[in-house]
Structures are given as C-alpha cells and as structure tokens.
Structure 1
Amino acid sequence: MKRTRNFARHPFGLIMMLVSLNSVATFVLEPVAHAQVSGDWIPTSSLNTPRYGLTATLLANGKVLVAGGYNTGFLNSAELYDPATGTWSITGSLNTPRYVHTATLLANGKVLVVGGYNGGFLNSAELYDPATGTWSITGSLNTPRYGPTATLLANGKVLVVGGDNSGSSAELYDPATGTWSVTGSLNTPRYYGLTATLLANGKVLVAAGFTGFYSGYCPCIDFVSNNAEIYDPATGTWSVTGNLKTPRGLHTATLLPNGKVLAAGGTDGTLIDIGEYVPFSSAELYDPATGNWSLTASLNTARNSHTATLLSNGKVLAAAGYYTDTAELYDPSTGVWSFTASLSTPGSGHTATLLQNGQVLVAGDDSAELYDPTAEGTLPTLPLIIGAPVLPDAEVGVTYSAPLVSGGHPPYTVNNVKGVFPQGLGDTLASGALSGTPASSRSKSFTIQITDDLGSSVTGTFTVKIFRALENTTRALKAGINGRAYKITLKAAGGKKPYNWSLASGNLPTGLTLNGLTGAIAGTPVESGTFDLTFHVTDPVGGIAETALTLTIK
C-alpha cells in the first residue's frame, strides 16, 4: 500500500537509498560468494494481524506482547508470542486504536502504553495486565504525543519525552497513583527520531533527533540536531552534555556493558523524496564519565529506522531498516562491525525483542522471525568497493573515522602500497576505516590494497587534510564601564572555520550578549562587578577549545 505523509515521517515510513561513491581505483570484483557467519535467522509463526508502527514488550513470564499499529486502518488489537511454542495468540484489545506509541514494562509487571496517533495526536494512556489479559485506562498525558520515547527510571516512574506536538516538554508517570506530572523541560525541543537511554548512574541520555514540527514537507537538512542532554531524576532537570560528532535522527542508541552508549546509523534529515531520508553508516560512542562522544567503526550498511539489540554475549545486533534485509554485529571489545545472516524480509518499523533464551524476536508487517546468536548462517557477500578518494577533513586531537571500503566480508587486511598513513590514524584498519586521533597537521596521500576475509581485493589512493588543533587565542577581556557601550571579539586559531562560540559557564553582565557566529561580546552593561566566564569555541570537524576569562565592569 502507498503510505501517506503521516506514516512516512516516522521510522517505519522511510526509504533507504543506495549511495554510490566516485573514486579512482582498481577493482578486483569476485563473483558473489557465500560466507559462513556467526548467527542465523529461524522462521517462526506470523502475526495474526499484519501491522507496522507497533510495539513489542517482553513480559515477566517470557512471552511478548505486541499491541496496536496500522494495517489499512489504526489497530487496537493485541497479541502474545509464546517462545515455548513459537505461536501467537490473541489477547485483550486496547481501549483506543493507536500507532507510533510507546509501551513500557513496569516494575509491577503491567505494561504502560502511551500516546500515538489515530487520526490525531493522542494523550491517552492505558495499562495491560498479563494476569487477566485485559487493558484498563489510566491517567492521560498533559501533552498529546506522537512518536515519543518512554524510559523506565530506577524509582519506578516513567519519563516520556519528545513526539510531535510536544515541544521541549517532558513528563513523569507514577504507577503508584496512575497520574502524570510535568518535569523539567528539555533545553532543545525534539519532535521525533530521538533516542532516550537509561545510563548506569540512573540518569537518562537524550540524543539528537528532528527539532522542528512541520505542517508540510521541507528540505529537512537544517532540522536535525547534533546535541544531547542528560535528565537527572533526583532534581527533575536537564543539563547539556557533549554534542554528537554527526547530526542524526532515526538512529539507534544502545547501552553497552561497559556503560558507554552506542549511537548507530540514522539520517541528517536530507530528503530523497517525500518521506524518504538518506541513511548513513557512521557510529559513535558516548562516555558518561567524560560527557563526550567519540567515533567508532561505521556500519557496513547505511541504515536508518532500524533496530539495535544488546545480545547476551555483549554484542549489538543492528537489523534491517527501510529496504534492506541485512544485519550486522558490533563488538565493543574491538569496536568493529561484522555481517551476520540477513533477515528473510527487508523493512523498517519492525520491533526487535531479546527473549529470555537469548534469541531475538523480530516482528512487523505480516512476518516474524528469530535470530539465534549461537547458530551458524551464510551470507551472500557484496562486491568489495573502494571508498571515495578524498576523505573527510580531520583535526589534531579530535577522534576520527572515515570508511575506506564497502562491501566484501570483514575483517579486512590492509597493505600499504605507497605513501604513509597520517600519524595516529593507521593503527586499526581491520574495520575498513581510517580511524584514530591525528597527531600532526598536514595533508597526506597514500595508496593501499584492501583484502577482505574471502580474498577479494581492491586498491585505491586516498587524501586527507588534517587541520592543526583548535585553540582559543583570547588571553584577557578588556574592562568595561557600567552604562557605556562595550565590544570585544573573542579570537581563535587552528581548526576549520567557521567557528561557533558559546558560554560554557558563568553569566555575562546584564546588557551584554555573545554572538555565537562571530565571537563578539557586545552591548551596554547595566551592572558592575567581576564576572568569571568560561567560553567554548567549536568547529565543524569536532574540535573544541575552552578558555576561562574574567570580565570587570567598573
């Protein structure tokens, strides 16, 4: 069926695009081969009612509750999957048909379903009781939300954030009272395509997403954010944390066993056509200890609107996405993605649920299948293709990763044919990417031969420009006088222009403002005193420099 605008704007309605790269290279294209890989997909019975835009929740008894969605109309039906028999059974229907809602398993074993869409944005919520197989209405959201996130906090409450119509608002559900209360607002409005991840310290990381609300279509490249923020349940407030290296929405975010968060794939909002977003393959890691993001190896397949599941063995399974049936595994110990067996059906808007037996149930549309990490599967291997010859810019001291090859079957073996790798970037190449932290600033060209695990090889020449480290060169701020016009421009050197300035801590005197694009502090101060200020300057490559300065107004 042709999906309308409302469906296309969310993960299940986005179309993948094959991005071709132009490069000067020598190709040795082997016939498509079949590689033996770890993990395989097992057929299981199909849903009783085909649906997408659904939710799937693992219950305490090991069964999976699937609820709502869309199939020629908005659905209120629900069904249960029993891993012991591999079959689906009908259970009680929702009171309200809904699609692109959330479903959260509460500490008492019930399931809270919130918001969604059925021709209008919904603020209603209801509870599923596995003991009776029935739904009951509970308190309504303060703000209707379509496509929000819902996170179960350590205190048993549920934090709901984002969704069309939500702005920057956030609210909490208390299972003890069945009511919602408004909590601190986000610093940046996020409407859809965001992620919310419960960290090991009990705080919640919300990352990027689309930051605009549209009544029609637009070139959305300017409406996807790269910022992130942290919610602290103890105070009910949000604080800004480090920016992602890449603006992204419709990505996945997975808490790893080491406490870091893996953000993978997504889109920068670039439209191919109505509701069709260009996917990308980059991935990065958030470290709660430092509040910073660092690049890790890219996915082998560009994807958005996919699923990511932490397996029992500590690896992350990324599956499907619009118009792709591929799947791959991320190993946190090596920082490398490797292909695993492909699903039988491509698509997005499906769900992925880790079962108690370690298998993963993927369900959506009219199909369902199981991923078994312990099985052995086969994978048709795509031809090995060298990457674009001009690599993205780099900067001394800034974590870097750029793909050198696509296709084939990793891991890759890289042999240097001519030239030398940039200092700090040539140590880990098995992922097929040039990655690391540059240590010297100069342009570098090198020719390499890359061979995959099946013996196919390609040769290509690459160039990367490395900027010197960004630094703030303003050493002091001139003094000002209360009531008199004041202006000074902060200066920086190195990095890649344009720069962006921000006030990281402290407050400017009333009457003065900072222009983030020019670094100018200007205005007429109307208060006297000594002001301790910390400024950040950033650049498009990811460089950041900090300086602490004191401003005196007499």
Structure 2
Amino acid sequence: MCTMKMTRLSLLLVGFASVSAGCQPEEPSQVPTAGLVAHEAALTDPVGSWTSNSSLLFMHSGPLATLLGSGEVLVTGASTAEVYNPYTDRWRPTGSPNTARTQYTATALPSGQVLIAGGEGGISSAELYDPKSGTWSTTSPMANTRRGHAAVQLHSGKVLVVGGETAVDIRGPLDPLSEVYDPETATWTPVESFVYPRIRASAVVLDSGQVMLTGGVYWFGSNAWKNASEVNIYDPATNKWRTAGSLAKARHGHFSIKLYSGNVMIVGGFDGDNSVEMYDPYNNRWFMGPSVPLEETTPIVAATMLYSGEVLVTNIRGQSALYDPLTNAWLPAASVSGSAGPEPSTTLLHTGQVLMVTSNRVERFTR
C-alpha cells in the first residue's frame, strides 16, 4: 500500500514539473498511465507458488501432519506413519501406531513427543510417538471415548481435548465432555462440562492462555447433526467452561487462527461459505472480516498462518488466497496443481513454507 502511494505521488510530481517546463500535457500523461497499469496488474498477479514434493511412502487414510522440534514432519494415517525431511525432500518410514484409528488428534508436546488420542469406533486410548527412537508407546487412556474432537496444547504444556462424539447412555453424553492430559504424570483430569457436545469444532489458545471453542456439529438430542454457532471459553485457572456468544455463521470443520495482534480469525469449513469473522479478546468484540475472494460454494479446507502474519487459505478445488492483516485485504495466491481434497493436512515448516499432505499427494507452498 505504501509503495502505491509513493508511486502516485512521484507521478504527480513528475507531471507538475513537466507542465511547468511548458511540455504538452498529453505526452507526460501517457508515461505515468502506462506505469500505473503495469503496477495495478502486478498487484493482481497470484503470489507464491505450489510445487509437488516427493511422494508419500504410504497411502494414508485421513493423514495428519505434525511438525516436530527438528523441523521434520510426522505424518500419520490410520495405521501408518512416516517422517518428512523438508531440507532433503525425502521421506523415511518410522514405527506404526499401536492402534489403528481415524478422526483422532495429534498434538506435539514440549518434550518433543507427539500425543495421539481417540478415534472412530469408540476409542479412548492414547499413545506417544518418540521421534528419537521412532517408536510408539501407550499412555493412560481418556476417561471417555471420542472422535472428531479438538485438541490444543495449553501454555502449561498440558493438552486439552474437547467435544467429539463420545459415549452416551439413555441420560445423554457421559462425562467428561472435555479433559486435560498432563505429560509429566501421564494422567487425564476431567473438566467441567460445557453446554452442548459437538464434533468438528475448532479450538484455539488465546494470548491469555484461555481456550476458545467455536462452531461444530451438534450430534445428540433434538439438535442432532445441526451446524453449531456456539462459542465457549475454557479457563485453565478455574478448569471450567463458560458460554461466550455465537458466531454469525454456523460452521464445522473450520479454522480459528490467532493473529499476531491477538485477534482470532474464523474462516472456512463446511457451510461457512467465504465469510470471515474476527474476535477481539481484549474487548470481547466480534466483527466481520473481508470475505475470501474464492468461489463461495466451494468449502475452504485449509488455513495456515505464515511467519509474515499472512494467512494462506485453500479451498477443496485447490484455489488459494492470502490474507494480509496489515491491510485487512486478500491477495490472490497460486493454486494447488490438483484438487486439495476434502480434508488435507497443512503445517508451517521451519523454512517458512507450507506443507500440504493429502491421502496420496504432497505439495509445498512458497511465498
């Protein structure tokens, strides 16, 4: 934006000097006009590029990519695992998880290990991956089975898991609807239940250390399989949840991204169209952001914040756009060479690039 202003100012000064010298106005005006056209065209050119990387060793079902402390990436599937080295663009096999699972969560721990928990089929078990030995070991199971839940690492290093499809009886969902894993003691602690259990919600840790949970799908009772707009806040200091209003647009499978400003960007998911909502935690205020300039009916399935603070989003067809919080505007970005698929897994590499993994393909975005 500053470059644009400086360019226009320079052009005005040149024109003024030319008129003062007695030149015909038509001649100097043609040069800056051409310059402006070229400059404006450059602003609309797609930024960045996607390149295909070395193919996966395995066909993963619902792959999850987790960044390790070494800068390498652990990719896990239902019963497979492998490690990607972004510096050599090479994959290597590693130990397989003890339990085959889908719709689970994978969370990196301060120790460098990775915690995976839950999964489809009534799984409450959890296990740890050790990148030093390339092996898996079981840890204490959760108190409740869950799939399609959310998991985040708290400022304390503990892991909060919340929601998902959990065990039920005639009275309703069985507690706890959320619980906290302590890697130091390998134990789980129940959390006071929040209002409605739901799957495919999105959780993000705020600067305060509290956790905001948004959207999802109600899966039990009269509201079964209805998109949720509910917002809840978890406070680790009290180990309790509280309600915190509603989203303007109910959605599930979406993304909540904490920007450098501390504000949270809600974008994408299914039924979220191309709308963007912003939450200011310092003033407890919601406001709308600029809509994503991609096809409104095509779900956004990936969103990753770059080191620059920009946010790269990609829809199911592989079309991408880049949000710049400094200008509160979107830039067109290069498209993925193929379809991104319904649920790709993306992670920001230490190189500053974004790695996208699908069930059978790997691509890397460079800004």
TM-score, length-scaled by structure 1: 0.55
Equivalent residue, structure 1, for 2:256: 253
2:74 to 55, 65, 68: 65
Larger Rg: 1
In structure 1, how many angstroms separate the alpha carbons of the residues matched to 2:313 and 2:220?
28
**Deviation per residue, 1:63-99 (Å, 9 max, x gap):** 000112xxxxxx3110000011101110000000111
Identical positions, percent:
40
Deviation at 1:230, TM superposition (A): 0.6
> 1:128, 1:267 → 2: CA distance?
31
Q: 1:270-314: per-residue Cα shift (whole Å, max 9, x none)?
A: xxxxxxxxx511111011012221111111123436111010111
**For 1:98-109, what aligned pairs fall within 5 Å after superposition?**
98-109=101-112
Structure 1 unaligned regions, length at least 5: 1-32, 69-74, 269-278, 374-554
Report the structure, 1 or 2, having the larger helix content: 2
Q: Does 1:152 align with 2:134?
A: no
2:189 corresponding residue in structure 1 = 181
Cα distance in 2 between the residues matched to 1:204 and 1:355: 24
Contact 2:146 2:164 in 1 (8 A): yes
Aligned counterpart in structure 1 of residue 88 of structure 2, from 76, 85, 88: 85
Task: Give the equivalent residue in structure 2 for 1:116.
Answer: 119
Distance, in Å, in 1 between the alignment partners of 2:278 and 2:144 is 32
Verify the 8 A CA contact 1:92 1:134 in the aligned structure 2: yes
CA distance in 2, matches of 1:52, 1:308: 20
Report the AA paired with residue 142 of structure 2.
L
Does the 8 Å contact 2:164/2:197 carry over to 1?
no
Q: What is the deviation of 1:327?
A: 0.8
Which residue does 2:33 correspond to in 1? none
2:347 match: 353
Contact 1:203–1:231 (8 Å) recurs in 2 = yes
Cα distance, 1:212 vs structure 2:
2.1
| CA distance in 2 between partners of 1:242 and 1:333 (Å) | 27
Pairwise CA RMSD = 2.1
Structure 1 segment 129-208 matched on structure 2, within 5 A: 129-165=130-166, 167=173, 169-190=177-198, 192-208=199-215
Q: What are the within-5 Å matches in structure 2 for residues 44-443 of structure 1?
A: 44-68=53-77, 75-117=78-120, 120-165=121-166, 167=173, 169-190=177-198, 192-213=199-220, 220=225, 223-268=226-271, 280-301=273-294, 302=296, 303-304=298-299, 306-321=301-316, 324-346=317-339, 347-373=341-367
Distance, in Å, in 1 between the alignment partners of 2:270 and 2:103 is 19
Q: Is the 8 A contact 2:82 2:91 kept in 1?
A: yes
Q: Give, in angstroms, the shift of residue 332 of structure 1.
A: 1.1
The alpha carbon displacement at 1:242 in A equals: 2.9
Runs of 4+ aligned residues of structure 1 deviating over 4 Å after TM superposition are: none
**Partner-residue secondary structure (3-state), 1:328:** strand
Q: Which structure 2 segments of 5+ residues have no match? A: 1-40, 168-172
Tell me if the contact between 2:232 and 2:244 (Cα under 8 Å) persists in the aligned partners: yes
Q: Deviations over 1:432-470 (max 9, x none)?
A: xxxxxxxxxxxxxxxxxxxxxxxxxxxxxxxxxxxxxxx
CA distance in 2: counterparts of 1:267 and 1:290, whole angstroms: 28
SS of equivalent to 1:38: coil
Q: CA deviation at 1:106?
A: 0.4
